Chain A
Amino acid sequence: MTRTAFKPSNHPLAAYIERLEAGGDLLPDSPENLVEVVGILKSYGVVLDAYSKNLIYIADHQFLVFFPFFKYFNGDINPTKLLRHWWHDRINYEYAEYVMKVMMWHGGGGLDDYLDTEEFQQLAERAIRAKFKFNPAISAIHAIFPDFLPEYVRQSCYYSALGQFWRVMSDIFLTLSDRYDAGEIQSIPEVVQYILDGLVAAASKPITYGVKIGDRRYDILPKSAGLTFLMDTAVPYVDTIFFRGTPFPGTVSYNAQAHQIPYFQRDFAYGALYADPLPTGGAGIPPTLLMQDMRHYLPDYLHEVYRTNCRGEDDIRVQICQSFQKSMFCVTTAAIKGLAPHPLTTTDPEEHEANRQYLETWMDRFITSRLEMVNQRTERACQLFPEPSEKTK
């Protein structure tokens, strides 16, 4: 039986379902898309490497430090670095924290569940007591407000988990870039497959977390908790950061009372796949920080693409954001393929039907996303607002 015999989907995004079933990807394969995706993932990999190191440093070394003034210094504090920090000629670790907080707020996955268990409570309590055994003031506060410090510990867990997740992703993206440079990656499907292989390879990597207090190590996320890379960090990450996200104050005025922001978190659609790249660069637009960081590490071939834009490098952060969105659709494609109940190209009718339902569920979430936009050719020429005709006035 051939695939063409299957009943076509009635979904508004049926074209993409068919494309995925035919072995294609959400992002069309084109030389420009390939350059943009690989180039941006290269710079993203460099930035993620830095984010990952810092998140893990904060989790390990700023555990229950209430005023971590030097948390972005990774333990290396000197006047030169301090001046550079104030001058903002640095990696914007604030963005990594923003992502961590969004992930923590939305929750989901095994990590979120584990942080509500009795076992975690006990482990956290043990670490808190050890940390403040010589601090009667904080111990007293902890006795009066017993939920306060454990919440801090939960946050530290997210610092660590996201750091570990990004460590893996950074390595995947940097080796992808190396393979591209070596001529081994030549198409978008190859990019998606490479990411998918990387995710699969790291799927069962354990996510653990412990802190050293005094001369003793305290486990917070022990190996016995069974938390793994794919299901407990990657999937929640994709769900919260790619799909849900948070509305950015300052771009649009929201009236929460009128439910312009969904009542339920699960209905949020402010993630990376929905974000309008145009406001990038504005105050209060968190991805601006990421784009600002990535611009420092753009490979020359991608930089050249951006220079051909109408405004040259003036709007480079917007262009980076557009490319980044394309790359995130590639990562999402890898996730969709990796989590599918059966190979998407299956010819078995039952498997196909199961895949169809699975894909339609994904597509429901893509309806309001930027999927259509990333499938259009990026406009790089200058344009004017169309002058309204007398008829339309």
Chain B
Amino acid sequence: MLTLLIALPILGAIAIGLFPAKPTSNRFRQLALATAIAVFLWTVLLTTQFDLNQVGLQFEQSLSWIPSLGLSYRLGLDGISLPLVLLNGLLSAIAIYSTSRSITRPRLYYALVLLLMAGVYGAFLAQDLLLFFLFYEIELIPLYLLIAIWGGKRRGYAATKFLIYTALSGILILAAFLGLVWLGGSSSFAYQPFAGNHLPLTTQLVLLGALLVGFGIKIPVVPFHTWLPDAHVEASTPISVLLAGVLLKLGTYGLLRFGYGLFPEAWHYVAPALASWAVVSVLYGALSAIAQTDMKKMVAYSSIAHMGYILLAVAAATPISLLAAVFQMIAHGLISALLFLLVGIIYRKAGTRDLSVLTGLLNPERGLPVIGSLMVLGVMASAGIPGMAGFIAEFLVFRGSFTEFPVQTLLSMVGTGLTAVYFLLLINRAFFGRLSDVVVNLPPVQWDDRIPAIVLAVFIVILGLLPSPLVDLTENQTTALTRSPSTFSVSALSPDPPGTVGP
């Protein structure tokens, strides 16, 4: 069942590659979209089959791969990865739908997006350390190419910077995984919670440090963040949507799953520093966002700030804060995707993202009123206005983290206020006021441009008003993760004998 999530996009990419059509044909888009929707529907089906009362992995699949290296093909789904899998499916479909029909080299583009989708699925599903690393690295290649080929003026620079940073992140993660297995005397790379607890504390701290920096680059946290604004600014809109919505979550997911999951004992020691690090990220990201005049850069820096909340929540590692971390991943995934989508539409229709130039876009007949309204909704959600997903996520983060790190939590809450500041600046400059006399006829926005944004907005509001489905999906797993190893249900995590395949 889970293999299908990885296989389908790969098969879709192959089909696109082999499809007999003109190089500029629209068939590639249709094929990619059909594949992405099919995969997303498959994840929805999996969700309906998911047992909320069971802790640990479900739909497991396990195959011996390279026994001599202790490498196995192990996939599994739990309450932490399932929401992210759903998010990946949704945003991949939206990214494909949002791609311009006149994109150059569509065959390659759509094939790469599907490969990216497969890589991310693999990373979220992998229950083997090396398999996770493999998928983690695999998704770099399509993303690098997607920025380098279809990006903006400085795409080469941005893509290379992204590749160097993320490759370095991969190296550190690989080093930590290898260290854990070799120093721990294990013969298997199979993921097991609390696996690092039996190592000496110093060793744990070193390995955890490598993971923190590795995943910290991916999240990204200050000072490893500089690749992100460049990548966002140069990437096309759909790729920005995937980057902010899903790919950054690999960092926080990795931190939660592998950083905290493997080294909970060492985590206890580094948590205060991590929480402080999160505060720095939150405040630095927010203050940097205030200073931006490029709308896309502002949203990118806002991402850095909001990912900081996840870091704070994971650092606190209370049942509520871990639940909050997952909730914030989903909320931020939806909100940032919405904001990047809207910024993309604005750029396409207005010709600029410069806040010192744009004005009056909320004009009801000559501006972009629907896009403006959705933007207002998006920034309100991002600023944690009640009734939207961002509020639930941030409330849970602060509620869950305050007991462990009251000072850091209070300082992070300042970030929420700053979010309101920079997004009010954005709304006030670009949307309010009179439409410029220089521009009296902005091109109209068609309904098919609006649909993806409306879909995201609906999800944001639904999650804000009805968070329980997501909470129910995740809560048991995150609560179990905060318990001691002895009480954590690992029945589903014990390595299967090589060669067996799960249901």
Contact = CB atoms under 8 A, between A and B. Distances in A.
Interface in A264-317: 276, 278-282, 309-312, 314-317
Nearest to B349: A384
Interface stretch (A53-61, A146-154, A341-349, A385-393): A385-393
A312 B443 CA distance: 10
A311 B351 contact: no
A321 to B, nearest CB: 9
Given A310-B441, A385-B436, A282 B350 contact: no
A387 B444 contact: no
A383 B436 CA distance: 11
A393 B364 CA distance: 29
Q: Which of A251, A279, A280 gathers most chain B CB within 10 Å?
A: A279
Nearest to A280: B365
Contacts of B354: 385, 387-388, 393
Given A278-B435, A281-B365, A385 B350 contact: yes
Contact of A385 (B351, B365, B433): B351
A382 interface: yes
Contacts of A276: 434
A387 to B, nearest CB: 5
Given A282-B363, A315-B365, A318-B366, A385 B444 contact: no
Q: Which 9 A-B pairs have the closest CB atoms?
A: A384-B351, A310-B441, A315-B365, A281-B364, A281-B365, A382-B443, A311-B444, A385-B352, A387-B352
B438 A385 contact: yes
B440 A385 contact: no
Nearest to B358: A385
Nearest to A373: B437
Q: Which of A309, A381, A387 gathers most chain B CB within 10 Å?
A: A387
A315 B366 contact: yes
25 contacts: A252-B434, A278-B363, A278-B366, A282-B363, A282-B364, A309-B441, A310-B441, A310-B442, A310-B443, A311-B443, A315-B441, A379-B440, A379-B441, A382-B441, A383-B438, A383-B440, A384-B349, A384-B352, A385-B350, A385-B439, A386-B352, A387-B352, A388-B354, A393-B293, A393-B354
B441 A388 contact: no
Contacts of A385: 350-352, 354, 357-358, 436, 438-439
B233 to A, nearest CB: 14
B365 A386 contact: no
Contact of A380 (B363, B434, B439, B441): B441
Interface string A35-54: 00000000000000000000
A385 B349 CA distance: 9
Interface in A348-393: 379-388, 393
Contacts of A380: 441
Q: Which of B350, B358, B439, B441 gathers most chain A CB within 10 Å?
A: B441
Interface in B432-485: 433-436, 438-444
Interface in A309-347: 309-312, 314-318
Contacts of A387: 351-352, 354, 357
A279 B358 CA distance: 16
Contact of B366 (A251, A252, A311): A311
Given A384-B349, A385-B439, 9 more contacts: A279-B363, A282-B363, A315-B441, A316-B365, A381-B441, A384-B352, A384-B442, A385-B351, A387-B351
B100 interface: no
Contact of A310 (B434, B435, B444): B444
A278 B364 CA distance: 9
Interface in B355-381: 356-358, 360, 363-366
Q: Which of B350, B433, B436, B439 gathers most chain A CB within 10 Å?
A: B439
Given A311-B441, A312-B444, A278 B434 contact: yes
B172 to A, nearest CB: 37
Nearest to A311: B444
Interface string A187-211: 0000000000000000000000000
Interface of A: 251-252, 276, 278-282, 309-312, 314-318, 379-388, 393
Contacts of A383: 438-442
Interface residues of B, number: 25
Interface string B412-444: 000000000000000000000111101111111
Nearest to A315: B365
A309 B438 CA distance: 16
Contacts of B441: 309-311, 315, 379-383
B358 A278 contact: no
Contact of B350 (A279, A381, A384): A384
Contacts of B349: 384
Contacts of B356: 388, 393
B437 to A, nearest CB: 8
B397 to A, nearest CB: 35
B292 to A, nearest CB: 12
A295 to B, nearest CB: 12
A329 B62 CA distance: 81
A387 B354 CA distance: 8
A310 B438 CA distance: 15
Contacts of B439: 383-385
Contacts of A251: 434
B481 to A, nearest CB: 48
Nearest to A384: B351
Interface string B48-71: 000000000000000000000000
A315 to B, nearest CB: 4
A104 B352 CA distance: 46
B352 A388 contact: yes
A178 to B, nearest CB: 31
Contacts of A316: 365
Contacts of A314: 365, 444
A310 to B, nearest CB: 4
Interface in B73-94: none
B434 A279 contact: yes
A312 B445 CA distance: 12
Contacts of B360: 278
Nearest to A276: B434
B460 to A, nearest CB: 25
A316 B435 CA distance: 16
A377 to B, nearest CB: 12
Q: Which of A278, A281, A310, A386 gathers most chain B CB within 10 Å?
A: A278
